[in-house]
Structure 1
Amino acid sequence: MHFLCVVQSGCCKPPTACGYNFVNPTLWLNPTNMAADADCYLWSNDQSQLCYSCNSCKAGLLGNLRQDWRKANLILIITVVVLIWVYVIACSAFRNAQTEDLSRK
């Protein structure tokens, strides 16, 4: 849920390059010249839309996903290393136990 709030708060604000005039957090006035960026025409004050069709919002979403996946990959790599280490120790202990059984017989 936290991830969606971050994306929505970024997409509720129009791109800075467009020059929209702030009235309140949910209302921005259209500028007279919107030629600065293609996202200027895509952004909307409509609360149900939240500007998800804007390229800048899509880029922000991809940036957040990339960051989250890097963290997840790091955790997965550490987990695999720990599991391999536990497996090697278990195999060594098993071999030692078998060697002791053979020497007793």
Structure 2
Amino acid sequence: MQSGCCKPPTKCGYTFVNPTYWISPINNSEDMDCMKWSNEQTQLCYNCDSCKAGLLATLRIEWRKANVILIVTLVALIVVYLFGCFAFRNAKTEELFRKYKQGYT
């Protein structure tokens, strides 16, 4: 992602001066990303397609991790809920049988 947003795309042929200042080649290619690069700190290449693609790839990876965590949490909650339901049913059954057992003993 850094190569698409914080520095110009490699295929453009910019010359490195410092991390935020690059010298534009004489012959800019037809690629629109090469023309969008700016040495201005607030702009850089945040509008470049390569930056947007890198951001989407990073978000996709992060959401996959989040989805796994959410699915595991959902399964754990379902298991806890089922244990609670079974325990509640068993408690009600024991109470019902206790009434009948008291009459016979």
* Bucket of the pairwise TM-score, normalised by the shorter protein: 0.7 to 0.9
Partner of 1:58: 52
Query: For the residues of structure 2 that align with 1:37 and 1:17, how far apart are their CA atoms?
Result: 9
CA RMSD between the two structures: 1.3
1:44 touches 1:51 (CA, 8 Å); kept in 2?
A: yes
Query: Structure 2: how far apart are the matches of 1:83 and 1:50?
Result: 46
Please say if 1:75 is aligned against 2:69: yes
Larger CA Rg, structure 1 vs 2: 2
Greater relative CO (CA pairs within 8 A, separation 6+): 2
Q: Unmatched 5+ residue regions in structure 2? A: 100-105
Fraction of identical pairs, as percent: 64
| Unmatched 5+ stretches in structure 1 | 1-6
TM-score scaled to structure 2, two decimals?
0.87
Alignment-derived partner of residue 98 in structure 1: 92
Task: Flag as ranges the 4+ runs of structure 1 deviating above 4 A.
Answer: none
Matched residue SS, 1:14? coil
Which position in structure 1 is the counterpart of 2:24?
A: 30
Query: Post-superposition shift, 1:12?
Result: 1.5
Map of 2:40 onto structure 1: 46
**TM-score, structure 1 normalization:** 0.87
Count of aligned pairs between the two proteins:
98
